[in-house]
Structure 1
């Protein structure tokens, strides 16, 4: 499949590590001018050293005013990948107000804030666009001790569907990708316990966790004009976990 993002400016949040890093590098390979957003300045510097064409900006997505100021200085943006997110795996009785606030501030408020400004610019310029949000299988299936995280990702799914309805007539597509466990460095560490690992794998028909490239491939497809008739969808990249 021949995909090119020449002459496109694509913003990726959470771009300095894990899935976001993989998406950023792939989009650069496909000719995009990638604007990489992350809270970790040092990690952004490393990313920039690997691909000099990447534009980087440090941003705390939980700060609504900072998001507005930063994004206004980076416009125009043609496409958006909302990849930034935080996770905390705790039983409900151990959740604090701070942990609740942290998850919703980044996973929901930050995503909505950055999307708002980019959609407003696309509408003002009367330009088409494509947005992909990174959600999770946890939005659609109960996972032990994921109550607050699952709630944030359920919000992402609902936001995706509703925004797709709102901006579809303006030729702006909005989709999300819902991965299973992904073998990022953090994912490998989190699922290093043999019992927990095999308990989850037993629920996945393909009997493996996702690699970063599995998610990157889905994101690239949904961003591209090869998915030009697809909007409002939440695409599981889960080896069949949600289907069986």
Structure 2
């Protein structure tokens, strides 16, 4: 199935590394004009050194007003991928207010903020656009030490459904994907590269392994494309069957 985004302009957040970088590169390969956004300038510069035609923007999306100003200045987009996220893993009884606020500011509030700006311009330009939010299997199943992260991704799923309902009449589709563990730097920071912890999680996945970045990327590319023109409001597990058991 050939998918082309030639002539399309797409914003990808958290694009400096990991899943976001993979998404940005694959969309670029499919002909899209990419704006890669990340908090870390050095990651973006590394990306641009390999793909000079990708535009880069650094901003801390936890800063509501600064992010509004920056995203407003970027102009109109045909599609958006809300990938940027943080994971602070603490036992439930030790979860702090600061960890909660930091997590929700990035994983939920920033998605609302950025999506509002991008979607308004889609509506103004009568663009039948597409938005994909990167959620997690943690929104659907309890994971030890993931209380705040799981809650943020559950909120993201709910936000996705309401966005799909309200933006649908404007021809804008909104979906999310819910991957299992993908061994990016963020996943490693969450301890998933620990052999014992990894073994326990893999034992609950029917396919018996963690996911690859490319497997998330392929699903996102499909959901952004016209090949999924009747799909909106879904939460797509990319989990090797974890949620089926």
Alpha carbons 1:184, 1:211 under 8 Å: kept: no
Q: Secondary structure at the match of 2:23?
A: helix
- Larger mean CA deviation between 230-239 and 119-128 belongs to 119-128
**Mapped partners of 1:160, 1:229: distance in 2:** 16
Structure 2 counterpart of 1:168: 168
5+ residue gaps in structure 1?
none
- Report how far residue 188 of structure 1 moved: 4.6
Q: Do the aligned partners of 2:87 and 2:186 also contact (CA within 8 Å) in 1?
A: no
Give the TM-score normalised by the residue count of structure 1.
0.98
Report the counterpart of residue 233 of structure 2 in structure 1.
Answer: 232
CA RMSD after TM alignment: 1.0
- In the superposition, relative to structure 1, how do residues 114 and 90 fare at CA in structure 2: closer, same or farther (>3 Å)? same
State how far apart, in whole Å, the 2-side matches of 1:79 and 1:27 are: 11
Taking a change above 3 Å as real, the CA distance of residues 67 and 186 of structure 1, as seen in their structure-2 partners, is: closer
Aligned to 2:244: 243
Q: How does 1:129-144 map to 2 (within 5 A)?
A: 129-144=129-144
TM-score of the superposed pair, with normalisation by structure 2: 0.97
Q: Which residue of 1 aligns with 2:68?
A: 68
Conservation of the 8 A alpha-carbon contact between 2:122 and 2:129? yes
1:41-63 CA-partner distances (Å, limit 9, x unpaired): 11111110010110110111111
Structure 2: which 5+ residue stretches go unaligned? none
Q: Cα distance, 1:185 vs. partner? A: 3.7
Q: What secondary structure is seen at the aligned counterpart in 2 of 1:221?
A: helix
How many residues align? The count is 244
Which residue does the alignment assign to 1:206? 207
Q: Distance in 1 between matches of 2:196 and 2:26?
A: 34
What does 1:36-51 align with in structure 2 at a 5 Å threshold? 36-51=36-51
